Amino acid sequence: MGFKMGIVGLPNVGKSTLFNALTRTAAAQAANFPFCTIEPNVGDVAVPDARLDRLAAIAGSKQIIPTRMTFVDIAGLVKGASQGEGLGNQFLANIRECDAIAHVLRCFEDDDVTHVDGRVDPVADAETIETELMLADIESIEKRLANLTRKVRGGDKEAVQQERLLRAALAALEEGNPARSVEVDAEDAKAWKMLQLLTTKPILYVCNVEETSAATGNAQSARVAGMAAAQGAATVVISAAIEEEISQLDAEEAAVFLSDLGLEEPGLDRLIKAGYDLLQLETYFTVGPKEARAWTIRRGTLAPQAAGVIHGDFERGFIRAETIAYDDFIALGGEAGAKDAGKMRVEGKAYTVKDGDVLHFLFNA
């Protein structure tokens, strides 16, 4: 599995420019006027991971298959969107389908690019979007509570649980806090997630800065970092303009261009890494002469469930996993060397897969 990240923000903050650059397409129209994105654009990108190339080189794999990440470019929201302003709340449903939100904030000055509120204030912009999402959640919760009344009176256990969780979320929202601020017990975690409240989504603030600040950030991105730290959220600094230029270059030209700007890697790499950390994701590999492939799982995933990412039969019929740590696979020249050195382990159903593990699953069909 990869994961799906929704790109949101006010109009003209660089969402579509960033989306186009990241997906290396021109599917989203990047124009200097509000609401140029009418339908949510969806783009799949390969997750860059240098480890996969090294593994493939050692194993002589004919094909390299990275894991993938999905970006959803969601139309620009404005103050009052939850009440139908701008393009209204039709796009809020697209956010519900995402695993996380990349909230793009304008942290650059440019008189040629209109700001919907006539000023550059990324912290205020963040508060505007958060408020709209909170208002949409409140409206959704109130409707759901009304619909649950009869089931709750009838003693329906699932309805009683839903009502309790919805009221906890509503209490937080009415105090001006997002639903993600609610502490949820382990036994309620699944039901909580099923509520699909907008403000439970993890947030990554993407500070879109001018080219000269791409490596260091600027005063505006520093303000956002302070806000994010107070919320326990994550931030990443990107110049959408630079990413757009890089998307038009080959690998060698891009490397030189980045070096000249004092950057070690493209913004895409940093954005994905930040997204992985945000959602507590990690990668394991399957490697052989036919293909070297990366697979994404959540941290703490046990071996049978990791196998199930490949195919449900692998999980259902799981017997064991032959496991080699990435560093051992590289240092010892592949599977044979790792076996000879006693570095291949046989792990059972209770094994927690580690980031970088090279795995081979045995299962009953």
Q: Per-residue pLDDT averaged across 268-285, rounded?
A: 89
Examine the pLDDT at 115 and tell me if it is beyond 50: yes
The tokens of 265 are what?
């890697």
Task: Examine the domain organization and report whether 269 and 175 are in the same domain.
Answer: yes
* pLDDT for residue 37: 43
Q: Containing domain of residue 311, as a range? A: 300-363
Q: Which residue has the tokens 């700001």?
A: 115
Rounded CA-CA distance 52/173 in Å is 43
- Do both 264 and 327 map to the same domain? no
Pick the more confident residue, 233 or 58: 58
Domain boundary among 219, 248, 278: 278
Kindly state whether residues 69 and 218 are assigned to the same domain: yes
H-state helical runs in 48-205: 50-59, 92-96, 122-153, 157-174, 189-194
Joined together, the tokens standing for residue 2 give 């990869």
Instruction: Give the mean model confidence (pLDDT) for residues 157-164.
Output: 93
Domain-located, residue 246: yes
Residue 287 lies in a domain: no
- Summarised one tens digit per residue, pLDDT across range 206-231 is 999 999 999 899 999 999 999 999 98
pLDDT tens, 59-103? 999 999 998 888 888 875 655 554 555 444 556 777 888 899 999
Domain endpoint, select from 246, 278, 310 = 278
Residue 284 lies inside a defined structural domain of this protein: no
Total number of domains in the chain: 2
Q: Which two tokens stand for residue 259?
A: 């070096």
Same domain, 252 and 323: no
- Are residue 119 and residue 176 in the same domain, yes or no? yes
CA atoms of 6 and 133, how far apart (whole Å): 13
- Higher-confidence position of 301 and 1: 301
Check residue 23 and give its pLDDT.
73
Instruction: Give the model's pLDDT for residue 103.
Output: 93
- Is 292 among the domain residues? no
Mean pLDDT, residues 282-290 taken together = 96
Residue 324: both structure tokens together: 């080699």
Q: What pLDDT, on a 0 to 100 scale, did the predictor assign at position 278?
A: 87
**pLDDT at residue 90, as a whole number:** 59
Answer yes or no: is 258 within a domain. yes
**Is residue 289 in a domain?**
no
Q: Are residues 272 and 310 in the same domain?
A: no
Per-residue confidence band for 250, with pLDDT thresholds at 50, 70 and 90: confident
CB atoms within 10 A of CB 3: 20
* In the predicted structure, residue 5 carries a pLDDT above the cut 70: yes
Q: What percent of the chain has pLDDT over 90?
A: 55
User: What mean pLDDT is predicted for residues 273-289?
Assistant: 92
Asked if 46 and 270 count as a contact pair (C-beta separation under 8 A), the reply is no
- Is the pLDDT reported for residue 142 higher than 70? yes
Q: Which has more pLDDT, 165 or 111?
A: 165
The mean per-residue pLDDT over the stretch 311-336 comes to 96
Taking only the tens place, the pLDDT of each residue in 167-197 is 999 999 999 999 999 999 999 999 999 999 9
Mean model confidence pLDDT for the chain? 87
pLDDT of residue 84: 52
Q: pTM of the full predicted structure?
A: 0.83
CA dihedral 268, 274, 275, 276 (to 10 degrees): 110
Residues 154 and 215 in one domain: yes
Q: Are 178 and 172 in contact (CB under 8 A)?
A: yes
With both helix axes pointing from N to C terminus, report the angle between 122-153 and 219-231 in degrees, rounded to the nearest 10.
Answer: 20
Say what the pLDDT of residue 358 is: 98
Q: Do residue 74 and residue 145 come from a single domain? A: yes
- CATH number of the domain residue 350 falls in: 3.10.20.30
Torsion angle defined by CA atoms of residues 46, 49, 50 and 54, in that order, rounded to the nearest 10 degrees:
-90
> Is 285 domain-assigned?
no
- For residue 31, pLDDT beyond 80: no
Does residue 63 sit within a domain? Answer: yes
Helices then strands, each counted (H, E), the chain: 14, 12
Question: For residues 47 and 66, what is the distance between their CA atoms, to the nearest angstrom?
Answer: 6
Whole-number Å distance between alpha carbons of 175 and 173: 5
- Answer yes or no: are the C-beta atoms of 303 and 348 closer than 8 Å: yes
Determine how many CB atoms are found less than 10 A away from the CB of residue 348: 12
Taking alpha carbons only, the member of 333, 362, 364 closest to residue 347 is: 362
> Sorting pLDDT into bands at 50, 70 and 90, what band is 38?
very low
**131 and 96, same structural domain?**
yes
User: For residue 13, what is the domain's CATH number?
Assistant: 3.40.50.300
Mean pLDDT of the region 96-124: 82
Are residues 85 and 20 in contact, defined by beta-carbon separation less than 8 angstroms? Answer: no
Q: Residues 20, 123: one domain?
A: yes
pLDDT of residue 317 exceeding 50: yes
Shared domain check, 321 and 200: no
Same domain, 222 and 344: no
